[in-house]
Amino acid sequence: MKQSKLPQAAQWTVDESLQQMKSSRDGLTDQMVSTRRDEHGPNALAAKRQTTLLEKFIAQFKDLMIVVLIVAAIIAAMTGEVVDAIIILLVVVLNAVFGVFQEAKAEQAINALQEMSAPNAHVRRNGETVTVKSDELVPGDIVLLEAGDIVPADMRLLESASLKIEESALTGESVPVTKQLDPVAATNVGLGDMSDLAFMNSNVTYGRGVGVVTATGMQTQVGRIAGMLDNTKERKTPLQENLAHLGKVLTALILVVAVIVFAVGMIRGNETLINMLLTAISLAVAAIPEGLPAIVTITLALGTTRMAKLNALVRRLPAVETLGSTDIIASDKTGTLTQNKMTVEKLVVNGEVRDAKVGVGATTDSDEGTLATLLMLNNDTKLTADGLVGDPTETALIQYNMDHNVTADKFLTAHPRQAEIPFDSERKLMTTVNKMDDTGALWITVKGAPDELLKRVTRVQLNGQVVPLTDELRKQLLTINHQLAVQALRVLAFAYRPVETVPATMTSEKVEQELIFAGFVGMIDPERPEVAGAVAEAKSAGIRPLMITGDHADTAKAIAVRLGIIKADDDAGVITGAQLDELSDADFEKRVSQYSVYARVAPEHKVRIVNAWQKRGKVVAMTGDGVNDAPALKAADIGVGMGITGTEVSKGASDMVLADDNFSTIVVAVREGRKVFANIQKAIQYLLSANLGEVLTLFVMTMMGWQILAPVHILWINLVTDTFPAIALGLEPAEKNIMKQKPRGRTSNFLSGGVFGNIIYQGLLEGGLTLLVYWLALTFPVHAGAEQIHADALTMAFATLGLIQLFHAFNSKSIHGTIFTKQLFKNRAFNWAILVAFVLLAATILVPGFNTLFHVTTLDWFQWLIVIGAGVTMILIVEVVKLVQRLRKSDAEAR
C-alpha cells in the first residue's frame, strides 16, 4: 500500500492539489476510476483474520491452572473417582465456553469502524454530478459536501461556503472546525489544525464544500487508527498474571511434595510401589484447588452483575478485578469529563461580567434582554421534532433562551429574517436583518469574533441607553474578552443597528458598519457536575487522573483546574502533542509523571502515554468515546468506553462501557474492582491454607506410618468445603477503608500483603490440629478393639479436617481485621453456604449407607465435642495472630 499524502495535502494550494492528484474540477473519467481502483483497492477498512470459535476454545486450555485441573481430573480417574474426574472436567469446559463467549463479543472494533463509513457519496465524474457508493471512491475523485453528510474519504478542500465539520470523534475537538482553503503553513500540526482538509467519517454540520480525495481506505486517518487497533497487542491483566503465577507456584509445590513422599516411602520399604504411587496421587489431589478457576470466574461474574446495576457494563471478566488495581485513569475530556455540549456561561453587558442566568423575556434588565434577543435572531439553528439541529455553538444560544422559558419557534416566527450575510472565515462575522414588530421596524444583527466586531462598532448600549463607544471603553471590553479567553471560554460578540428598510446592497462594507455594541457571550463545553467529586475520591484512593484531549491547551487546562486535576499555577503539568513529538520515548518515560494534562494530541500520542506509564509498572485505565480513542483503549490495561456518546468503535475496543457516560461511575467501578480482588484473595487464602492443611495431614500420616485419609475423603472435603464457602466469600461486602488504600499496582499479586504468610501458618495450624485430634483418638480411645480405634481415629481426622475448614472460613472473611463485628453474619449467602457444607459433611458420618461408602464410623457426642473444639481453637488462634499483626502495623506507621 502507498503512503498517505495527508501531510503534503495540507500544504498544497487548491490548484496544486488537483495537479498532485492528477484530477480536475470536472472529476475523473470512468477509465481513470477503473485504473485507480485497481491500484488502490476499495475505499474500505481492512481487518485482520479473526480466529474461529474452535481456535478460541482451544486457546482457553493454554492456561497453566487449567492444565493443573486437567491433571487433577486424570489423577482422580486413576484413583477410581470417575465422578470427581467428570465434575472437574465439566468445570474446565464450562470455564472455556464462558471465555470463548467473552472473547467473541470483544472482536467488534474494526467492524464498527466499517459500519461508520458513509454509505453514499456525491461526486463529479466525466463532468457530471453522480451518486456512488462510498467504497467506490478513488484518490482524485471530486466530492461534493453539504450539511448532514458524512465525509466519505480524506480530502483536500477546493471550495468552502461557510463549511463546518464536526471532528470530535477523530480529534477530540469539542467545537466543529470552520474550514478554509488556505494551505497550512506549519509542518508540525495536529489534525485539528489542518483546516483545509476533511477527514473520513467526520460530520458536516454547516455550509457546503467541494474536495478532491487524497486518501482512501486504510490510507485515511481512520484507516491509520484501524491499523493501530489491528496491531495493538493486548496485555495480560493483573488477574491473569496473578493466576498464572499462582499456577506455577502450585505446580512446583505439588511436584516437590509428591516426589518427596513417594521417595521416602519407597526408601523405608514398608509400602509397595502401587500404594506409594496412590499416596503421592492423594497428596496431589489434596494440594490442587480444583474449584479455584471456577470460583474466580463466579466471583468476577457476580461482580459484573453488581456493576451492571451501577451502569458499568463489563465486556471482559478480568476487567472487573483490573479496575481495582488501577494506578492511572487517563480520561478523554470531551464527552467524558465534560458534557460535549456548548453552554452559555457568562454574559458581558454594561461593561461587566455576569453569570448567564436569564434569557430574553425573563429579565427586567433591558441590556441583558437586548443581548438575549440577538442570540435568537442571529442564528441558523433549525427547530425540528427531534430537537435543535445545527452548529453546537448556535444551538447553545437558542438552548440558553429555551432554558429560561422562551418558546423559540414562536419567537422566531414573530421576528422573521428578511436578509442575511452568511458567516465566512475571513471576516469572522455573520449578519441578519430581522423584522422586530408589526410596525415594520427592522434590526441589523451582527455576531462574530470580538476584535473584528468591535472594529465596526461606534456606539454601545449601557443601562438602557445608547451612548458613543469611547477608546477607554473599547479597551475595557477587549480586556474583558482576553480575561474570558484565558478561562477557556469561547467568546462571541453581538451588535445591532435599527434600520427602516432592508439595505439594497447586502455587503459587509454597506451593512456591518455604525453598529451598537450589545455584549459578549462566554461559552464552554462545561464539566460534568459530578466529576470533580469523582476526581477527588480517585486521588484519595491513590489513583492519578489524567486528561487527554484534542482541544487547545488553554481550554484543557481551564477544565482540568475546575475539576481539580491540576492546580491553577501548574503550567508545567500541561503538554501538547507537538511538544510530545519533540521527546523521545526514553525521555518521555522519564518525565511522564510531570504531566497531568495532554492537549492537541493525536491517536498515536494517546498510545504513547499509556505505554509510558505501563513501562513504569503502572496499571492504566483509559476512558474515551471517540474513534481516536480506540487504539489507546485497546492498549490500556482496561479500556473504558462511553455508552451514550461513545462511538461503536470505542465501545468495541473497550473492556468496560459506562452506560450513563458518568465519570463518577468509574470510581464506583474501582471500588467494586477492589472489593472483587479482596474477596478473591480471601477465597485463595481460604482454599490454599485448607489444601496445605490437607497436604500436611497426609504427609505426616505417611511419614508416621499411620493409616491415611483416602483420596475419596480429600475430594469430598474439597468439594463440600471449597466450593460453597469460597463462592460465598465472593459476596462479602467491601471493607470500610477499601478506598483509602493505595492501588496495589502491577507488582502485587494474590499472595501479597501478608497472605502468603497467612496461608503457611494457617495451613500448618489446620494440619496440626487435625493430627492432634487423630493422635488423641489413637492414644485415648473411646471404643475397644484395634480396628475400631483406627477407624474412629480416621473418622475424627476426616471430620476435623472438614469442619475446621468451615470454621476457618469465618476467619477468611477478613485478611487482617477481626471477624467479631456486626458484619459477622451479614452475608446471608455465606451463612447458608456454611450450613449446607456442614450438613453434607456430617451426612457422610451420620447417615446410614453414607458412612459405609466413605469408610467412616459413627461418632459419639464426646468425639464430636473434640472435633468441634478443634474448629473453635482454629478461630481463636487466628484472631490472636491477626491482633498481633494489626498492633505491629500500627507501631510501624507510628514510627
- Beta carbons of 281 and 78 less than 8 angstroms apart: yes
Distance set, CA 298 to CA 91, 274, 677, 724, 731 (Å): 11, 38, 13, 11, 10
Check 63, 141, 332, 391 and give the catalytic one. 332
Contacts of 111 (CB under 8 A, 6+ apart): 47, 652
Which H or E element spans position 518? strand 515-524
Which residue(s) pair with 460 in the sheet?
Answer: 467, 517
Q: How far is CA 777 from the centre of its chain?
A: 58
Which residue(s) pair with 657 in the sheet?
Answer: 313, 641
Instruction: Report the chain's C-alpha Rg in angstroms.
Output: 36
DSSP-derived letter for residue 333 is I
Which residue(s) pair with 546 in the sheet?
Answer: 330
C-alpha cell at 685: 487464602
Name the one residue in this structure whose C-alpha cell is 502468603: 756
**Maximum CA pair distance of the chain?**
124
Contacts of 591 (CB under 8 A, 6+ apart): 583
* 659 phi, psi to nearest 5 deg: -65, -25
- Helices first, then strands: H and E counts in the chain: 34, 26
Euclidean distance between CA atoms 261 and 276, whole angstroms = 8
Distance set, CA 314 to CA 640, 663, 683, 793, 795 (Å): 9, 15, 22, 50, 46
Distance set, CA 424 to CA 147, 238, 264, 377, 493 (Å): 15, 53, 92, 18, 15
Q: How far is CA 659 from the centre of its chain?
A: 11
Contacts of 54 (CB under 8 A, 6+ apart): none
Residue 332 appears among annotated catalytic residues: yes
SS3 content of the chain, % helix, strand, coil (to 5): 55, 15, 30
Q: How far is CA 587 from the centre of its chain?
A: 27
Name the one residue in this structure whose C-alpha cell is 477557556: 488
Amino acid 420 reads: E
C-alpha cell at 655: 473492556
Q: How many CA atoms lie within 13 A of 751 on its CB side?
A: 16
Q: What does the DSSP assignment read for 391-408?
A: -HHHHHHHHHHHTTT--H
Which residue(s) pair with 597 in the sheet?
Answer: 547, 574
Euclidean distance between CA atoms 310 and 889, whole angstroms = 35
C-alpha cell at 291: 474449584
- Beta carbons of 217 and 46 less than 8 angstroms apart: yes
Task: Please choose, from the candidates 75, 65, 63, 83, the residue with its C-alpha nearest in 3D space to the C-alpha of residue 285.
Answer: 75
DSSP-derived 3-state class of residue 562 = helix
C-alpha cell at 719: 468439594
Active site residues per annotation: 332
